[in-house]
Amino acid sequence: MRPAILFPLFADIRTLSGVGPKLEKLIAKVAGPKLADLAFDLPVGVVDRSYRPKLAAAEAGGIATVEVTVLDHMPPRIKSQPYKVRVSDETAVMELVFFRAHADYLAALLPVGQRRVLSGRIEKFKDRLQMAHPDYVVAPEEIASFPLHEPVYGLTEGLTARPMAKAVRGALEKVPQMPEWQDAAFLKQRKWEAFRAALETAHAPAHESDLAPTTAARQRLAYDELLANQLALLLIRASLRGNKGRPVFSTGKLKALAVAALPFALTDPQLEALAEIEKDMASEKRMLRLLQGDVGSGKTIVALLAMLGAVEAGLQAALMAPTELLVRQHLASLEPYARAADVRLGCLTGREKGAGRDATLAKLAAGEIDILIGTHALFSEDVAFKDLGLAVVDEQHRFGVHQRMQLQSKGKPADVLVMTATPIPRTLALTAYGDMDVSKITGRPPGRKPVETRVMGAARMDDLITHLRTALDRGARAYWVCPLVEESEKIDLAAAEDRAVMLRQALGLNVGVMHGKMKAAERDAAMAAFKAGETQLLVATTVIEVGVDVPEATIMVVEHAERFGLAQLHQLRGRVGRGAAKSSCILLWHEPLGETAKARLKTMRDTDDGFVIAEEDLRLRGPGEVLGKRQSGQEEFRMADPVAHADLLAVAHDDARLIIARDPDLKSPRGEALRTLLYLFGRDEAVRYLRTG
């Protein structure tokens, strides 16, 4: 149950006076639906109205607050023209300009002969001073009624600054004095205020410098949010591990059979990662490990060898991948090694229906399938294992914490191994996977050649097509990737289809097409034709980003490369360079090319180290983008910035570990306050994992 002290903050924003249905929708779009969301929506700018010049000395283009006398009104002769009011102080005259104005309203607001204080932006027009639509107009004795320093909030179309600021102030009034969840000595050392005071300070900036993430108020709030994140992850982890695991021992017999069938030797980093996994599996505790490896570093074979250990111990294993394409590919690539070890593979995706699906489920429940490979379909309630010992999740950034738990709950105390080919910077690994141990496979497997990367402007498209024709005539195979921007999927699919038509005409070849709107069977057919060499060129959207494996493909063209993130470009480049032949990746950019896009393309040209690329991606795009809600299943931070607050994140991680070690049930006075913190930041899920009693 959420603590009663937080009830006011979790009221809907419509409960604020002056917020009707239309305004509620607009504010919710920017900040979120609850008052807590508004309170956590920190200012992005500040308007400083403390500049009080005489008119003659006023700087054009800046916000100024001036005291003037109203001279006269000049209503427009034609309705479309502006209404003007002339005002002056003892040094100069200024025109106030109003568009679509009501004469009666302005006559009452600015009576001729009266003194008024105005605040707004002063501009120069034909050597005359002007102020269009002043932000504030008050009598001199009412000057205290408008703020000299005004916070600026993020807005959306239809939402203006005044109602947004008023709503935020209304939400702040509902913030109660919270019990202190931070360590007193730590607060003193950092010179941090209490939570509510810090929130008030953060919403009352006087200067641009008050918006910096390094201010004491913003650091305090960021630390609270980071601590909630780390504590939640560790509580979930403690719960997963609290149910004792079972040691999984194997002699390595099945592993040896599979290794003997490999056409290559395992690398040292692969062997180290496997040793860490096997050590976890043999312990009394449940395994929860993240296996990071760059594109093509050989994670899947490490996962298979771990799964064979579980099978040898009399248990079953599951490998879950995000797409059907990837599932079929895993099945095809693992089949020979499973056969060598005499292990039975099964497959389950959304495509399996009726009698075929029923037969697979019956075999699984009877223990006649040793390793099941599948998509989200593995989560279905009717999927029951005889005894699941190890669950492997591929491409973790597509699945959140809850799905990890859902899958491992299919087995009594199943171990969980999660794999990602998207190298994750340390700061993000902590915020997204603070609940996991991490193994890394560095370097590329033997025989893998580096991919030559070239950056080319779209103006040189003809040269590129000539180069492509020469390569394809020699028997090469190539991908041509078109971007897919969600807002305009139809346009982009048309662009991919049109590009395929253009390339067919230019090259005189059979060109395949593949995109996410095609039926799974059509996509598989397009991929199979490309794999078999029936089509030499495959025009695709980013559906080929993850896991597609065609060793014969040696050329990757990415069109509109400036639209892609670094991690995605790196994934796409990893689709080539998988065979013995030399490979190249051409990044084709279109104008206009922004500074960030330029920096991204330069990074791609300069390095192929996924971990270096991940750190640079984080620096350029920020954590919200790199681990955005859409792709990661992680909630974005409201007040913390894992890059700017990386040092605080490390402290929060250590603090959370210490808290769990000393007070695993959060029963102490600080523990009770920390429960409030978890609810405040929406980590309700974690509180459920606290053992009661």
Q: How confident is the model at residue 435 (pLDDT cuts 50, 70, 90)?
A: low
Q: Is the pTM of this model over 0.75?
A: no
* pLDDT exceeds 50 at position 633: no
Q: What is the mean pLDDT of residues 516-522?
A: 80
Sequence-ordered list of residues with C-beta below 8 angstroms from that of 220, at least 6 positions apart, any chain: 190, 192, 193, 195, 198
Q: Selecting from 3.40.50.300, 1.10.1280.10, 3.90.650.10, 3.40.190.10, what CATH number does the domain 253-441 have?
A: 3.40.50.300
List all residues 6 or more positions away from 263 whose beta carbon is below 8 Å from its beta carbon. Answer: none
Neighbours of 428 (CB within 10 A): 25
The beta-strand segments (E) located in 226-343 are 288-293, 316-320
Classified as helix, coil or strand, 302 is helix
Same fold yes or no, 253-441 and 451-607: yes
* Helical spans, DSSP H, in 142-182: 161-173
* Top-confidence residue, 292 or 95: 95
* 345-388 per-position pLDDT tens digit: 999 988 888 899 999 999 999 999 999 999 878 877 788 999 99
When pLDDT is averaged across residues 624-644 and rounded to a whole number, the result is 59
What does the pLDDT look like over 150-172, one tens digit per residue?
A: 999 999 999 999 999 999 999 99
571-617 confidence digits (pLDDT tens): 889 888 887 789 999 999 998 888 889 999 999 999 988 878 887 88
Residue 490 has pLDDT above 80, yes or no: no
Superfamily grouping for domain 451-607: P-loop containing nucleotide triphosphate hydrolases (3.40.50.300)
**Is the Cβ–Cβ distance between 202 and 217 less than 8 Å?**
yes
First to last CA, the chain: 15
Average pLDDT over residues 480-504: 72
Q: Distance between CA 479 and CA 515 in Å, rounded?
A: 13
Place of tokens 């194997």: 250
Quick one: fold of 50-146?
OB fold (Dihydrolipoamide Acetyltransferase, E2P) (2.40.50)
275, with CB counted inside 10 A (0-12, 13-18, 19+), is: exposed
State the alpha helices, DSSP H only, in 15-152. 21-30, 35-39, 103-109
Strand segments, DSSP code E, in 176-303 are 288-293
User: How sure is the predictor about 544, in pLDDT bands with cuts at 50, 70 and 90?
Assistant: low
Q: Which tokens hold the place of 606? A: 């300069």
Q: Where are the domains of the chain?
A: 4-46+154-211, 50-146, 253-441, 451-607
Distance CA 196, CA 177 (A): 6
